[in-house]
Amino acid sequence: MKKILISVILSSHSLSAQYTDFNIVKEVKVKNKGVVVSAHPLASEAGAKVLKMGGNTYDAIVATQYALAVVYPQAGNIGGGGFLVGVKNNGEKFTLDYREIAPKRASRDMYLDKKGKANTDLSQNGRLAVGVPGSVAGFFATLKYCKLSMDQLIQPAIDLAEKGFAITEQEANLLNSNKEYFQKHNQSYIVFVKNVPWKSGDILVQKELAETLKLIQKQGLKGFYEGKTAESLVSEMKKGNGIITLEDLKNYKVAERKALEFDYKGNNVVSMPLPSSGGILLAQMLKMAAYENLEKYQQNSTKAVQIMVEAERRAYADRAEYMGDPAFIDDKTSYLISDDYLKNRWKSFSFTKATLSSEVGKIIKQPKESTETTHISVIDKEGNAAAVTTTLNGLYGSKVVVSGAGFFLNNEMDDFSVKPGVPNMFGAVGGEANSIQPNKRMLSSMTPTIVLKNGKPYMVVGTPGGTTIPTSVYQSIVDVIDFKLNTNISINSPKFHHQWLPEAVAFEKNFPETTIKDLEKLGYRTEKWDQIGRTEMILIDDNGNIHAVADGRGDDSVAVE
Ligand code: GLY
């Protein structure tokens, strides 16, 4: 077990030792115990704590999300939204969609100037970028699957916010590099800005956030969507160009959706349906790659990568054309994941050359990328599983903190297609299906996924990474099922990503050069990225042995009951 001890000097705050001296645990093998994997050791610990109190997977999921909102403010949130995919030990599958929605005053062309040019600064930064948050409603919707009370599940987060916790080096660097944006988008003092640079071991105390969490604890849903918190959020909107109203907040509703399920080589994959594109993309990519018997090849070899990239190209072209909030579009999911359709789509594949993106969809423009969001995987000792991916969209979302309430607001409006053909911050382009309409959910890429073998959870997996999310989850599943690699190797091997547009395939910086060179000879454009994804995976073998791994790319950590 790889352990990294973060030791810090106690500050003058009165602190319990657990918040200043904690282990980052990258890998655990256990049996008959619950495990939680998340982006932060203290959040995973909050989940494990409620498991020890007699809670189940869903209790742990709620406690971990609240804790992430405190200790991982760049993506953990109460001001954003997310998706939960659950499989109970009785076989029941369910999903909760607590994605943000467009405010009632939103409109199709709200980010276009008089000449019709898209202003993505407005959809990505500041108050107009904010969608109506769904996370807290999602936590309350999860309660029906829980054993403990909200009072108990929120308490670890209140303690972390009130007493403070030691920030890690990665967090210190992020806070420092975002200082300028925090100052630009917040008129009042916020705890995330200091006169001197943050450093590893500094204590971050969030009193206002603690008070907001206490209001939720006392008043339930109304503690967020009505009363003081809602009023603070709406006042914050009025300090700039924000359009969310009290009515928008009061009317927010979680959607319970039927999980998207499909067979992959005898395993049942359970993932998120629209308004996330994740499940559909995963089904399309896995099925198309299976037409070439992917299991014959090796992970990250030229042929394997070529097959997978070409499957990605075709799936992401469909994302741009057909996918959006199912309440607003003609939902073509069954057709898009059918063999009839996919076999035909795959006919143009050839090992001799790269397919051009223009051959599989209508070309538009060159994008840029960003990789935020966060994922939690949990299994308890009774065999209940959950995968949750939650987001503010960009790092620290809109960068706006609700004054008096202490939490970051999302910039999820940028996940709409602000103008057909104009790439969002992930470089994804879209069309009418994902255009802005009041009360509509913006298309997502989040792909919380549970793979079942003989009806029982086998893999619980997910990752942040914007549009790279489905391709990273795809690679994880292929690594385990086709290439028979273990969890640790799968997660920490270098990844690649292609999304139809741009034409280039992205490779993590330590990706095998020989494969990249071979692909270039076949006509592939390539580029290097520092990092792709931060996958949290739990694998449960036929004998009930649990192997949980937290991605080595960040402070991600496993905690055991
Ligand atoms: N905001 C990232 C996603 O939902 O895909």
Domains in the chain (CATH in brackets) are 34-256+374-441 (no CATH), 259-370+447-560 (3.60.20.40)
Distance from Cα 90 to the centre of ligand 1, integer Å: 30
Q: Quote the pLDDT of residue 424.
A: 76
Atom of ligand 1 nearest to the CA of 393: 1
Measured by CA distance, the residue closest to atom 3 of ligand 1 is 444
pLDDT tops 80 at residue 216? yes
Separation between Cα atoms, residue 300 and residue 505, nearest integer Å = 13
**Which residues make Cβ contacts (< 8 Å) with residue 541, sequence separation at least 6?**
547
Q: Is the CB of 77 under 6 A from ligand 1?
A: no
pTM for the structure as a whole: 0.95
Annotated active-site positions, please? 373
3-state secondary structure (DSSP) of residue 198: coil
Q: Are 168 and 202 in contact (CB under 8 A)?
A: no
121 marked as binding residue: no
Each residue of 496-520: pLDDT tens digit?
999 998 899 999 999 999 999 999 9
Q: Are 390 and 135 in contact (CB under 8 A)?
A: yes
Among residues 225, 271, 207, which one has the least CA distance to residue 404?
207
Among residues 236, 253, 203, 204, which one has the least CA distance to residue 69?
204
Each residue of 369-386: pLDDT tens digit?
345 799 999 999 999 999
Q: Quote the pLDDT of residue 155.
A: 98
3-state secondary structure (DSSP) of residue 35: strand
Q: Quote the pLDDT of residue 418.
A: 86
Q: Quote the pLDDT of residue 4.
A: 36
3-state secondary structure (DSSP) of residue 18: helix
pLDDT tops 90 at residue 362? no
Q: Quote the pLDDT of residue 550.
A: 98
Structure tokens at 448: 């919380």
Separation between Cα atoms, residue 280 and residue 260, nearest integer Å = 8
Structure tokens at 103: 């405010």
Amino acid at 130: V
Structure tokens at 356: 């051009």
Map tokens 């995973």 to a residue.
44
pLDDT tops 70 at residue 316? yes
Q: Is the CB of 373 under 6 A from ligand 1?
A: yes
Q: What is the mean pLDDT of residues 35-61?
A: 98
Q: Is the CB of 370 under 6 A from ligand 1?
A: no
Of 393, 472, 497, best ligand 1 pocket probe by most atoms within 8 Å of the beta carbon: 393
Distance from Cα 39 to the centre of ligand 1, integer Å: 16
Distance from Cα 560 to the centre of ligand 1, integer Å: 28
Region of residue 218 (phi > 0: left; psi between -120 and 50: alpha; otherwise: beta): alpha
Amino acid at 349: F
Q: Quote the pLDDT of residue 515.
A: 98
pLDDT tops 70 at residue 136? yes
CA distances from 533 to 85, 103, 375, 420 (A): 19, 30, 10, 27
392 marked as binding residue: yes
Q: Is the CB of 242 under 6 A from ligand 1?
A: no
Separation between Cα atoms, residue 447 and residue 482, nearest integer Å = 20
Separation between Cα atoms, residue 427 and residue 538, nearest integer Å = 30
Separation between Cα atoms, residue 524 and residue 185, nearest integer Å = 40
Strands 505-508 and 526-529: parallel
pLDDT band of residue 3 (cuts 50, 70, 90) is very low
Separation between Cα atoms, residue 20 and residue 205, nearest integer Å = 12
